[in-house]
Structure 1
Amino acid sequence: MALPPFSDYWNEIEPTLLILIGFLLFVFPEPATSALGAGLILLGASWWFYEWGR
């Protein structure tokens, strides 16, 4: 049984990476990066839920 190609998982990897990068920026102790990180987390989460329904 072969593994599916990487391109089949790309729709799940992109928003997950966005959430992880947003989390890293959120925990960095600078107000501007925390706000940017929170925005990336929200964008990644909404993108993730959008892809989940497709």
Structure 2
Amino acid sequence: MQLCNLAKEKGISHHSVIELSQELDNYIVQYFQQYGGRNSKAGEQSLSRSSSLPD
């Protein structure tokens, strides 16, 4: 939510938006490295739900 709000405020290509996006990417990678193999169905469901979120 923080990333979306920042992107709306500053624009999607602003350096602070890109930095926050990269930080989020790192957290996502860490999560899937730790939990991805254990409960892949839940991960797939949450990813498919996120693709249907409004802009």
| Higher RCO by CA contacts (8 Å cutoff, separation 6 or greater) | 1
Q: Shorter-normalised TM-score: what interval?
A: 0.3 to 0.5
